[in-house]
Amino acid sequence: MNLAHDVARWALSHPERPALFEGARPTATYAQWAARAAALAQHLLGAGLYPGDRVVLFMRNHPRYLEILFGVWWMGGVVVPVNAKLHPKELQWIAHNAGARWAFVSRDALPEGAPALAGLERVVDVDSPEMASLLAAEPQASLPVAARAPDDTAWLFYTSGTTGRPKGVMITHRNLRTMALGYFVDVDTVGASDAIVYAAPMSHGAGLYALPHVLAGARHVVPPSGGFDAAELFELGRQVGPLSLFAAPTIVKRLVDHAEAQGLGPADAARSFKTIVYGGAPMYAADIQRALKVMGPRFVQIYGQGESPMVGTALSRADLADQGHPQYLARLASVGRPQSSVRIRVADEAGQDVPTGEVGEVLIAGDSVMAAYWQAPEATAAALREGWLWTGDMGCLDASGYLTLKDRSKDLIISGGSNIYPREVEEVLLLHPDVAEVAVVGAPDPEWGESVVAFVVARGALALEATALDAHVVAHLARFKRPKRYVQVEGLPKNNYGKVLKTALRERLQANASGTDLGQSPP
């Protein structure tokens, strides 16, 4: 089993089919893609690399990303995808930890002479003539795809880790094949005339969604900006046909803001977008309702994590459209049902299932779950126990099997002995018309152990008032869950994937440098 076969097959049967695009400009057919991947594989082997060797991709979203990715797989290599926004020191740490031999970099991510990859055998600038020659085929017959076992590693992904050192997650060919096949059952159907656009980093889940689109022989579009630009995406969709994409909730929000600001409605959205898959961070019920209203029924939610990439649960287009369902609002706030290739349960610390509706840790089992953490047996033993991946996410299953995530276990607030799930408080605050974004964290409290603090971003340039927010919260939630303090900030700190860095907010509280303190809630 080698994922590179999927490109090779289309190259045989439909060589002239357009495959790769930069914006609306075709850059490769399936035959050209396969030929370039095979050529790169040949060069890598010729340079003394062996199947199983690690190769770093430190690139912004780039038209050559997929040629290089499949070229490394073609020779049996392991890709180490690194987000191009990481600091050179983080890159250095990852490349060293992975024992990488080669790296492909875009120079805007890593300027010439930066010492980060000094120990590697070769660092190739993907925009250089050297890259072009590595992708050019030798005159002799093309190299066959290397044989790989299903459990061989394909993708050594370093977890984004909002705290501590990232760990290398060993994702195998089987894991990724499972994810790709499951896409058609749990997320969306794909045909050869469809197109996926890469608006989020290809080093993460957005890039992995290339795989179902390769299986379907579809088109792959890298926007000329190399990232997210709402106006560009709307326009690109009009040019090349409705696009599918993976987007973090913050990106969905910005798309919706753009549509609203431009007076665009569901019919305009339908011309530009086929399916928008969101996940990776909480999507609040109020936000997805607005997105559905403005852009129409083109959303699907997934929940997964680096250790089971893109595969956990899915909240389908049909669920999101089923407004008459008695559980509709609860389902909007859920992450949906287990995807078809996994089983999911919610357990207490001893691994016993908790009763329906009660909160415990979310465990996942199935063929999408990582083999292990790279060279970290203790971390592996803690995360993989008796065939189950312990996700670190807290959640509960309802009687129909829908999973609602509460929070990461470390984000749980325990105040006066009661558990408070920040997400629940955040959902309520977002219903307030003046609140654009919010993050709730626990602050050390001498009396209660921890107290609830809400960081709020106002819609527009408003000054928010603690008393008004407090009145709103107590109208919806038990009093013990209400924030004791509100801090108005201009924006929330987020990592490169759009996840709010709650650790940074907790640190801000300790350093006392925290925006406009709106003060205590009234007693």
Residues interacting with ligand AMP, by CB under 6 A? 159-160, 279-282, 301, 303, 305-306, 335, 391, 393, 405, 408
Question: Could you give the angle at the alpha carbon of 196 between the alpha carbons of 193 and 200, nearest 5°?
Answer: 175
Q: Minimum distance between the CB of residue 160 and ligand AMP, rounded to whole angstroms?
A: 4
Q: Minimum distance between the CB of residue 245 and ligand AMP, rounded to whole angstroms?
A: 15
| Closest to ligand AMP by CB, 123 or 320 | 320
Strands 219-222 and 337-338: unpaired
Q: Which amino acid is at 302?
A: I
Distance (Å, whole) CA 49 – CA 121:
10
Token pair 């925006």 is found at 515
- Report the DSSP beta bridge partners of residue 458: 435
Q: φ and ψ at 10, to 5 degrees?
A: -65, -35
| Closest to ligand AMP by CB, 114 or 281 | 281
Distance (Å, whole) CA 518 – CA 464:
8
Name the residue among 135, 160, 169 with its Cα closest to residue 35. 135
Q: Minimum distance between the CB of residue 310 and ligand AMP, rounded to whole angstroms?
A: 8
The answer to whether 387 and 332 have CB atoms below 8 angstroms apart is no
Q: Minimum distance between the CB of residue 361 and ligand AMP, rounded to whole angstroms?
A: 11
Q: Could you give the 3-state DSSP secondary structure of residue 414? A: strand
Query: Following DSSP, what letter does each residue of 340-388 receive, concatenated?
Result: TTEEEEEE-TTSPBPPTT--EEEEEEETTS-SEETT-HHHHHHHEETTE
Q: Minimum distance between the CB of residue 209 and ligand AMP, rounded to whole angstroms?
A: 13
Q: Minimum distance between the CB of residue 312 and ligand AMP, rounded to whole angstroms?
A: 7
The answer to whether 78 and 102 have CB atoms below 8 angstroms apart is no
| Closest to ligand AMP by CB, 85 or 408 | 408
| Closest to ligand AMP by CB, 160 or 327 | 160
Radius of gyration of the chain (CA): 23
* The two structure tokens encoding residue 80: 């180490």
Q: Minimum distance between the CB of residue 201 and ligand AMP, rounded to whole angstroms?
A: 11
Q: Minimum distance between the CB of residue 82 and ligand AMP, rounded to whole angstroms?
A: 13
356-391 in b/e form (b: 16+ CB < 10 A) is eeebbbbbbbbbbbbbbbbebeeebeebbeeebbbb
| Closest to ligand AMP by CB, 97 or 391 | 391
| Closest to ligand AMP by CB, 408 or 506 | 408
| Closest to ligand AMP by CB, 244 or 404 | 404
Q: Minimum distance between the CB of residue 52 and ligand AMP, rounded to whole angstroms?
A: 24
| Closest to ligand AMP by CB, 318 or 475 | 318
| Closest to ligand AMP by CB, 79 or 405 | 405
Distance (Å, whole) CA 186 – CA 266:
23
Token pair 């900030």 is found at 489
